[in-house]
Amino acid sequence: MRRQSLAAWLAGLAVIYGLYLWGASQRGLVGPDEPRYAAIAREMAVSGDWVTPRLSGEAWFEKPALLYWMGAAAATFGFNDDTATRLPVALLGAGFLIYFYLTLKSSFGQEAAAFAAMILGTSVGWVVFSQAGIFDLPLSAAVSVALLSLLSWLGRDDDSSSKSPLLFGAFLGLSVLAKGLVGPAIAFLALLPLIADSRLRARILSLARPGVLAVFAAVCLPWYVLCYIPNGSVFVEEFIWKHHVLRFVSSELQHVQPFWYFVPVLLGALAPWTPLLGLIRGLPLRDDVRLRFLAGWAVTTLLFFSLSTNKLPAYILPALPPLAALMGIGLAKTRRSVTLLTSAALLIALVPVAAAVLPEALSRGLTRAWPPVDVSWPWVASALIAAALVAALATRGLHVSAVSAVALSAAANLFLLKLTVFPDISRQAGTRELWQQVEPQQATACIGDVRRHVLYGLRYYGNDRLPDCSVGPRPVRIEGDPPHIVSPAGRTSP
C-alpha cells in the first residue's frame, strides 16, 4: 500500500510539474493585463516602494498588492521577467491542489479527495489560469482555502476548540489583498444559505466575532492604510468606487456580457469533467451540511458574477473548487459511471481543435479564428483511443482505473497543447518576439496606432523606452493590427 501511495504521489507531482510549472518562460506575456501587472511588480522591486503600485511611474489602483508582491519577490530572487510574473501564480495553483486534497480527505475520505483533486487539477479553467500572471487564481485560492477550512468545523457538534474560524479569517484577509472586496462577498454569499438552518445560525454568525475579525484585519488592513496615507481620496475613488462599484453596475469599463454568460464559461472551465456535474443531483445534500455548503458556494458564486454588468472568463474561477469537490464525492459514491466517464474522455478529443484556434483566438478573437484549420487528426484519433480505453475500464467495473485514465489523458493532452501552441501564442498574441525585432532600432522607434496588448507589451519589454508616436515621433513606427514595423523607406516587417 505504501508503494502504491508513493507511486500515486510521484505521478501527481509529475502531472503538477508538467501542467503548472513547465513552460513559464516558453511564451511572452499575453494580453494587456499580464504585461501591465508584470511592469508594476518590476517597478516595485526596482524602486523599493512595495506599498503604492505604479505603472510607468504613475500610481495605479486597479487592483491591490498581492500579485505585485509575488512578482516583485520572484524578481528579487533572480527569475527573469516573464517567469517572475507567472511562476508564483503557478506555484499557488499547484500548491492549492495539495491543500484541497488533504482537506477533502479529512472530511470525505481518500478516494473522494483524490478524485476531486484529479478533477480540479486537470480541469481547463484551473490549469489555464494557473499559467497567467493575473489576479483571479490568487483570489480563488485564498477564498477557497478560507471556505474549505470550515468544512470539518461545520460537521462537528462541538466547535469550542476549533481553530478553523481563525484560519478562515486569515485567508479571507489574504483574498482582500488579492482582489479587494470580491473575496468577502463570495464567502458571505456561500455561507448565507446556512443561516436559514436554525441549528447552524449561531455558529455561522460566530465567524464575525472579534477574534476572527482581528485576524482578518491584521492580514489585510495594513496595506490599505499604508496605501491610503500617501494617496488619499484618489486611492478610494479609483480602487473602491471605479473598480468595485462601477465594475459591477456600469458599462463604461466595456466588458459587458449577458446574464447567462458564465453558464457556458463555467461548463468550459470544468472540461473535460463537465459531464460529471450529473453526479451532484444524486448526493444527499439535505442530509449533509458540508455538501449543502459546497453546493451553495458554487451556486451563489455563479449568481453573484452573473449579476455583474462586466464579465470576464476568469471571474468564475472561485466556483471550480466546490464543484470539483462535489463531483469527486459523487464519483466515490458510485461504482457505475460508464456513460459519464466516457463522455468526459471524449471531450478530451476537442483539445487538438483548441490547439488549432487558440493562437489566433487570443490574438484577434474567437470569431476570426473559427472554423479551425490544420487540426491534427492523428492527435484527435489518439484521444479517441484513450476514450475507448476509459469506456472499457469503466464497463469492466474498474472504476478507479477509469477515473485515473481520464485524468492522465487530460493531463497528457493539456501538456501537449502547451508544448505545441505556446510558441504560436507568443508570436501571435504576445509582443516579446515583436520587441526582439524592434530592440536594435529602439533609439529611432515609437509606438503608433496599435491594440492595447501591443502597447502595454512593448512598454513592458522596452521598459518604457519607446514613446508614443503622437508625442515623440521617430523614423521607425510600430503600427497596425497585426502590428508591423514601418521603416523610413516605407518597408514593413511582420
pLDDT mean across residues, the chain: 90
Looking at the structure, tell me whether residues 14 and 35 fall in a common domain.
yes
Looking at the structure, tell me whether residues 342 and 330 fall in a common domain.
no
Residue 367's alpha-carbon distances to 37, 363, 364, 370, 417, in angstroms, are 27, 11, 8, 5, 21
Q: Is the pLDDT of residue 1 over 50?
A: no
Instruction: Indicate the DSSP class of residue 467.
Output: P
Domain annotation covers residue 105: yes
Looking at the structure, tell me whether residues 217 and 357 fall in a common domain.
no
Residue numbers of the domain that contains 255: 2-334
Q: Which residues pair with 485 in a beta bridge?
A: 478, 493
Domain annotation covers residue 143: yes
The total number of structural domains that make up the chain: 3
Instruction: Indicate the DSSP class of residue 124.
Output: H
Domain annotation covers residue 492: no
Domain annotation covers residue 316: yes
Above pLDDT 70, what percent of the chain? 96
Looking at the structure, tell me whether residues 330 and 342 fall in a common domain.
no
Looking at the structure, tell me whether residues 410 and 439 fall in a common domain.
no
Domain annotation covers residue 494: no
Looking at the structure, tell me whether residues 22 and 127 fall in a common domain.
yes
Looking at the structure, tell me whether residues 405 and 445 fall in a common domain.
no
Tell which residue, 155, 193, 184, has the closest CA to residue 299: 193
Cβ pair 197, 289 in contact under 8 A: yes
pLDDT (average), residues 369-384: 86
C-alpha cell recorded at residue 360: 489566433
Q: Give the span between the Cα atoms of 475 and 394, in whole angstroms.
A: 66
Band of residue 155 on the pLDDT scale cut at 50, 70, 90: confident
Above pLDDT 90, what percent of the chain? 65
Could you say which of 279, 300, 334 is where a domain stops? 334
Q: Which residues pair with 256 in a beta bridge?
A: 310
Cβ pair 109, 332 in contact under 8 A: yes
Could you say which of 307, 334, 361 is where a domain stops? 334
Lowest mean pLDDT among 18-22, 160-164, 284-288, 353-357: 160-164
Could you say which of 426, 441, 472 is where a domain stops? 426
**What per-residue confidence (pLDDT) applies to 224?**
94
**What per-residue confidence (pLDDT) applies to 381?**
94
Q: Which residues pair with 492 in a beta bridge?
A: 486
Domain annotation covers residue 122: yes
Domain annotation covers residue 195: yes
Cβ pair 417, 131 in contact under 8 A: no
Q: Is the pLDDT of residue 409 over 90?
A: yes
Looking at the structure, tell me whether residues 20 and 104 fall in a common domain.
yes
Lowest mean pLDDT among 6-15, 32-41, 49-58, 412-421: 6-15
Looking at the structure, tell me whether residues 23 and 7 fall in a common domain.
yes
| Residue range 219-247, pLDDT digits in tens | 999 999 999 999 988 888 888 877 777 77
Looking at the structure, tell me whether residues 324 and 352 fall in a common domain.
no
The pTM for the full model equals 0.93
Tell which residue, 152, 149, 151, 158, has the closest CA to residue 212: 149
Q: Is the pLDDT of residue 255 over 80?
A: no
- How deeply is 392 buried, as exposed, middle or buried, from its count of CB atoms within 10 A (0-12, 13-18, 19+)? middle
Which has more confidence, 28 or 319?
A: 319
pLDDT (average), residues 362-377: 78
Q: Is the pLDDT of residue 116 over 90?
A: yes
Lowest mean pLDDT among 4-13, 292-301, 348-357, 434-443: 4-13
Looking at the structure, tell me whether residues 279 and 418 fall in a common domain.
no
Looking at the structure, tell me whether residues 437 and 397 fall in a common domain.
no
Domain annotation covers residue 121: yes
